[in-house]
Structure 1
Amino acid sequence: MGDALRIGIVGAGNISGQYVKTLPRLDNVLITRIADIDASKASSLAAEADVIACTPEELYAAADVDIVLNLTIPLAHAEVALAAIRAGKHVYGEKPLAADTSSARSVLDAARAAGVVVGCAPDTVLGTGVQTARASLDAGDIGVPVAATAFMTTPGHERWHPAPEFYYEPGGGPLLDMGPYYLTALVTLLGPVRRVVGMSSAPRATRVIGSGPRAGTSIPVRVATHVTGVLEHVGGELSTLMMSFDIWGAQLPRIEVYGTEGSLSVPDPNGFAGTVQIFREEWVDLPVRAGYPDAGRGFGVSDMARSIVEGTPHRAGGDLAYHVLDVMECLLRAAETGTSVAICSTCERPAAVTA
């Protein structure tokens, strides 16, 4: 896959362990440094990965870092990305690209001016689940797509996360937290979105931390915790979306796509694999037809590294992440105003990951 690019990780929180396990399996990337504002967290994760622990500022300046992997909280995404770009580094970040489109645009503009590349999670859409569904769609297995549904329901992450405040602050909530997985999958399957309508609510003003040393602590809710809407894709397909931190149990599909000749059931887009099913006369499992096999968080970094070396577009790119963020922002605006909202941004449908 070409020369290995060196990765410096900023942010040693919960998600970082998954990247540290996956990246060493990939032959075109190499972790060299790990930084966090909490030096003890950086040291612990760096020891696990057998790399250098340092401060974020030292990491940005390091000659042995080509790509900064930004695993900080959403409110810090733009700040960290801009610092890395100023140091001449490529950036790949956890979702969302930034807490709002204004900050996200500043990241993309700065990267373009500096001649560096920006990528963003989720890379789960590069796995065999979504990519097999896309291959089936592209082959015309269900005819012409006309609609889709996408549901993410949970009673809230505070039940298991020891420090869940950021889920209930601007930049969080079910839409901005989990929506990127579902919306990135929908754009990968059906193309970009041109218009949205929606409604939202926040039934509870506070949440209670359910685990860890602060269990029992009450935290405020500053965002909508139940969001539902309809997305109109550029091809005319209509996707119905529901993202909720207020539902204890629901028998709903993760994603389904409905065509003129059948339907597709798509596995959880928060994972890389899973079984795709097709319905024409009855539901039947589809064999794996596309996607990176045995993928994990970090495959998007590898895909971006390969594109940098080869000079080709990468799939989990900044323009896609910006469009997804724009769609989410517009959906919340539509819910607030009670009107339909046109999406100003667009993006290319990412290239398929062929088998």
Structure 2
Amino acid sequence: MDKVGIGIIGCGNISGAYLTAMASFPILDIRGVADLNRELAEAKAAEFNIPAKTVEELFADPKVEIIVNLTIPKAHVAVALQALDAGKHTYSEKPLGINFAEGKKLAEAAKARNLRIGAAPDTFLGGGHQTARALIDQGVIGQPVGGTATFMCPGHERWHPNPAFYYEVGGGPMLDMGPYYITDLVNLLGPVSQVAGFATTPRAERLITSEPRNGERIPVHVPTHVTGVMAFANGAVVQIAMSFDVAGHKHVPLEVYGTEGTLIVPDPNKFGGPVEYLKKGGPFEDQPVTAPYADGNYRSLGVADMAHAIRSNRPHRANGDLALHVLEVMEAFHTAAATGRTVAITTATERPAPLSDSIVDGRLAK
């Protein structure tokens, strides 16, 4: 197999999940990890038995073809642009950028250099979500009518070791968790055409209760409760609520409604989970999950698919057009809330091709 060299920039909380999952994909050749905090990079390198390098060394390595950008959101575009300037494809953690303007700048830069960009989330490629996608494509729910997307929690300062960035510009529940839900909905239903929304910020600061910063108070610079409606190009209308201010609730993460039935879709932050289908007039019934990647945490599946796509000269699924579209939709909720108007979405994106075959063993998913 002609492996694809990977350089990872950013060794924070999410990097362990990426490095663990990357070992499952033979096409990925991890050339090194880098972080502005050299000690952090060296610790991660020692944990996974890979080289610790500087950012400059990764950019200069001719065998590195994809830079996987796991920095904090406000650094995503700056690091990705440096990667493009170094002649590398780039794949970023979500979101693609902290606003649509900088995301568009990145997309244009990649196009001008004939390089690829990709972005998390890739959970929509998981077996649970691909099974739900197949059921919709088979027409079991009839014409899609609507749905609900719900993520509501008390806030990440309860568990994250360094949660301040969640409350800075580029953070908040919509840009942090919205990518999972909106990306999966685009996978299921296609692109969004219009957005209406409201947003509130109930608290000006948050108390950290996790270690090592337990007891520290951090300021809040973004809305922490965002709710609204997405109108999709296919006619479906989906309600969404993203919050860091809710103690608890009983809503399931994702439901999709059609004229002939309803689907309960797994948590978009996970690759697997139960898929339930209710045929009009009948009860909810579990559906067999037939697609791969439903039995674990495969973060970096999008990177592996991108690597295979480079080798076989086909589009990759967690691509820049999809990520830019989702970023515009998320920003539109804040714009709608600030202006009191419905916001038209200017970008268009194709539904990513379904993923029905495993690429763990090197078979190319078409």
Q: TM-score, normalised on structure 2? A: 0.95
Q: CA deviation at 1:291?
A: 4.4
Q: 2:312 aligns with which of 310, 313, 317?
A: 310
Q: Which amino acid aligns with 1:129?
A: G
Aligned to 1:337: 339
Deviations 1:106-162 (A, max 9, x none): 111111111111010000000011111000000111111100110001000011112
* 1:251-262 pair list within 5 angstroms: 251-262=250-261
Aligned to 2:300: 298
| 1:204 alignment partner, SS class | coil
Q: Which aligned runs of 4 or more in structure 1 are off by greater than 4 angstroms?
A: none
Number of residue pairs aligned between Structure 1 and Structure 2:
354
Q: Is the 8 A contact 1:9 1:68 kept in 2?
A: yes
Q: CA deviation at 1:294?
A: 3.8
Aligned to 1:212: 211
| 1:307 alignment partner, SS class | helix
Q: CA deviation at 1:49?
A: 2.1
User: CA 1:77–1:39 in 2, change beyond 3 Å: closer, same or farther?
Assistant: same
Which is further off, 338-347 or 292-301? Answer: 292-301
Aligned to 1:47: 46
Aligned to 1:346: 348
Q: CA deviation at 1:277?
A: 0.2
* 1:58-69 pair list within 5 angstroms: 58-69=57-68
Aligned to 1:289: 290
Q: Which amino acid aligns with 2:303?
A: V
Aligned to 1:123: 122
Q: Is the 8 A contact 2:194 2:342 kept in 1?
A: yes
Q: Is the 8 A contact 1:162 1:210 kept in 2?
A: no
* 1:225-304 pair list within 5 angstroms: 225-280=224-279, 281-294=282-295, 296-304=298-306
Q: Is the 8 A contact 1:132 1:291 kept in 2?
A: no
Identity %: 52
Q: Which amino acid aligns with 1:354?
A: S
Q: Is the 8 A contact 2:144 2:235 kept in 1?
A: no
User: CA 1:316–1:349 in 2, change beyond 3 Å: closer, same or farther?
Assistant: same
Q: Which amino acid aligns with 1:161?
A: H
Q: Which amino acid aligns with 1:328?
A: M
Where in structure 2 are there 5+ consecutive unaligned residues?
358-366
Q: CA deviation at 1:70?
A: 0.2
Q: CA deviation at 1:64?
A: 2.7
Aligned to 2:96: 97
| 1:251 alignment partner, SS class | coil
Deviations 1:62-119 (A, max 9, x none): 2231110000000000011001100000101100001111111111111111111101
Q: Which amino acid aligns with 1:345?
A: T
Where in structure 1 are there 5+ consecutive unaligned residues?
none
Q: Which amino acid aligns with 1:91?
A: T
1:78 aligned to 2:80? Answer: no
Aligned to 2:37: 38
1:171 aligned to 2:170? Answer: yes
2: distance between equivalents of 1:44 and 1:263?
A: 47
Deviations 1:253-291 (A, max 9, x none): 110001111100001000000010001200100001334
Q: Is the 8 A contact 1:135 1:289 kept in 2?
A: no
Deviations 1:147-185 (A, max 9, x none): 011000100001111211110011100000000000000
Q: Is the 8 A contact 2:151 2:177 kept in 1?
A: yes
Computed over aligned residues only, the root mean square deviation of the Cα atoms, in angstroms, reads: 1.0
Q: CA deviation at 1:24?
A: 1.2
Q: Which amino acid aligns with 2:353?
A: A
Q: CA deviation at 1:213?
A: 2.3
* 1:16-35 pair list within 5 angstroms: 16-35=15-34
Which is further off, 34-43 or 211-220? Answer: 211-220
Aligned to 2:328: 326
| 1:184 alignment partner, SS class | helix
